[in-house]
Amino acid sequence: MEMAKSVSLDEIDSEGFTRELEALRRDVVQSLCHQDFLHLLKMKRIGNLITLLGYATAWIIPNPISAALIAQGILTRWLLMHHISHGAYDRVPGVTPGYTSKTFARGWRRFIDWFDWILPAAWACEHNFLHHYHTGEDGDPDLVERHAEIMRNWRCPRPLKYLVLFLTGITWKFSYYAPNTLNAFESHKNRSQQKRQLTPIGFSNFFDVRNWLVRKLWLSCYLPFFTLNFVVIPLLFLPLGKTAVLFVLINRVLAEFITNFHSYMVIAPNHTGSDLFRFDHHYKNKQEFYVNQVLGSVNYKTGSDWIDYPQMWLNYQIEHHLLPDLPMTKYQQVQPKIQALCSKYNLPYLQESVFKRFRKFLDICVGDGTMVRVPSESGRAYTPVKSSRG
């Protein structure tokens, strides 16, 4: 079902929406149960099994099946980190300490819980705090339209732009997320503590080890991850022969490209599109905060674990930005209720397939679309948007 309408932002009853949303939140929190934790463990077991199957066949021959299994296993770890680091399971009855935000991937547990190119503490700061509480603002470190300004203004054939975006997609945890989260994390600490001069990492100084932040990126992120995944793990197959080591390495590299592009395709379009909002100001109160989260976010198709799992539960992006500390199971329950609230209080609720949203993300990146700008003063009418279910 599709519907299109033009709405003035002043027509949105933000107070009524906030009142009912917070009542819904209280009801959901009271309904937390041990089954929510068991569901998390089930997703982890599935990811572990997929990873095991991938490596168990990776030594035989380079092939996309083994690589895709390893890639999905990597993505599962990111799924766990995303929800646990938000505190989604901190209050769930029967949860063990290892699955709470104060323990998961903290310190040495990084190496067993979520060992990726990215420092967990840096990602938690960049994502959980800076992105979630500045969504669509200039202070949002993940504002795609701002990052894509050079690409948007670059006068070159469209195919060349798409090639650059593809190369970015298959490397983006390495080329974008690791340095960007570290920049955001250290800049945030520096503003509050005034510790030392900071020169952010960029393409111009990516290999300049005289910069302490660049050294930290290489020593804390790149080298440990590269050594384990592309040296140590392939060498574990040496008893099966040198060819087995080579095949595992090839499949692991291919898996890295696959998991990068998979996460890129699921994550990048969540807040990007010509029907989503970009804000020239910071919200003034919680009512405006909630409204901005809806106006700046979009859902994909939702409904069941087998739809949600490959999308990392990021297909509930509107619900997640309104209620970021809920277990995955609760998003399935609250999604139709929040959609109904948005309709009741005149808030546009956008939901389309991930493929349609990725197309709109690409349009923003290459300059074929522009996000809706919301200036500091309220009362603007915005152009009609389409909200589609499924």
Whole-angstrom CA distances from 340 to 16, 199, 257, 345, 349 are 13, 46, 39, 9, 9
Q: What is the pLDDT of residues 152-194, one digit of tens each?
A: 999 999 999 999 999 999 999 999 999 999 999 998 887 766 6
pLDDT of residue 11: 80
283 band by pLDDT with thresholds 50, 70 and 90: very high
Q: Which of 184, 181, 147 is nearest to 164 (CA)?
A: 147
Measured distance between the N- and C-terminal CA atoms of the chain, rounded to whole angstroms? 8
Q: Which residues pair with 137 in a beta bridge?
A: 279
What pLDDT score was predicted for residue 307? 96
Closest CA to 55 of 201, 226, 244, 208: 244
CB count, 10 Å around CB of 334?
A: 21
Q: What ranges do the domains of the chain cover?
A: 2-379
Least confident of 146-160, 201-215, 315-329: 201-215
Q: Tell me which residue of 29, 58, 54 sits closest to 327, measured CA to CA.
A: 29
Query: Across 143-299, where does the E strand assignment appear?
Result: 277-279
Phi, psi at residue 32, to the nearest 5°? -55, 135
For residues 281 and 389, what is the distance between their CA atoms, to the nearest angstrom? 30
3-state SS assignment for residue 5: strand
Distance CA 184, CA 190 (A): 10
Q: Among residues of the chain, what percentage have pLDDT more than 90?
A: 85
Tens of pLDDT, residues 289-309: 999 999 999 999 998 999 999
Distance CA(374)–CA(372), nearest Å, equals 7
- Other C-beta atoms within 10 Å of 47: how many? 20
Average confidence (pLDDT) over 100-121 = 96
Query: What pLDDT does 189 receive?
Result: 82
Euclidean distance between CA atoms 312 and 130, whole angstroms: 20
- Under DSSP, is residue 299 helix (H, G, I), strand (E, B) or coil? strand
Render pLDDT for 91-100 as a digit per residue (tens, 0 to 9): 999 999 999 9
Average pLDDT over residues 280-285: 92
Closest CA to 88 of 100, 79, 76, 97: 100
Lowest average pLDDT, out of 174-183, 238-247, 320-329, 376-385, goes to 376-385
Residue 201: pLDDT over 90: no
Max CA-CA distance within the chain? 69
**Extended beta strands in the chain, E state:** 2-5, 277-279, 372-374, 385-388
Residue 380: pLDDT over 60:
no
Position 10 confidence tier, pLDDT thresholds 50, 70, 90:
confident
Task: Kindly give, in sequence order, each residue whose CB lies less than 8 Å from that of residue 266, ignoring residues fewer than 6 positions away.
Answer: 300, 310, 311, 312, 314, 354
pLDDT tens by residue, 14-70: 999 999 999 999 999 999 999 999 999 999 999 999 999 999 999 999 999 999 999
pLDDT for the residue numbered 195:
63
Q: How many whole angstroms separate alpha carbon 249 and alpha carbon 279?
A: 45
Band (pLDDT 50/70/90 cuts) for residue 375 is confident
Residue 2 has pLDDT above 80, yes or no: no
99-103, 283-287, 323-327: least confidently modelled range: 283-287
Closest listed residue to residue 83, CA positions, set 325, 289, 293: 325
- Give the Cα separation of 151 and 145 in Å (integer): 10
Residue 162 CB neighbours (<10 A): 13
Q: Does residue 163 contact residue 185 with C-beta atoms inside 8 Å?
A: no
Q: What is the dihedral of CA 252, 258, 263, 264, to 10 degrees?
A: 130
Q: Which of 123-132, 136-145, 198-207 has the lowest mean pLDDT?
A: 198-207
Instruction: Calculate the average pLDDT of the chain.
Output: 92
Give the model's confidence band at 379: pLDDT under 50 very low, under 70 low, under 90 confident, else very high: very low
SS3 content of the chain, % helix, strand, coil (to 5): 65, 5, 30
pLDDT of residue 8: 65
* Residues in contact with 41: Cβ distance below 8 Å, sequence separation at least 6, in sequence order: none
Tokens of 141: 């470190």
Q: Is the pLDDT of residue 78 over 90?
A: yes
Rounded CA-CA distance 114/224 in Å is 13
Cα gap 16→4, rounded to integer Å: 23
Yes or no: say if 133 and 333 are a contact pair by the CB < 8 Å rule: no
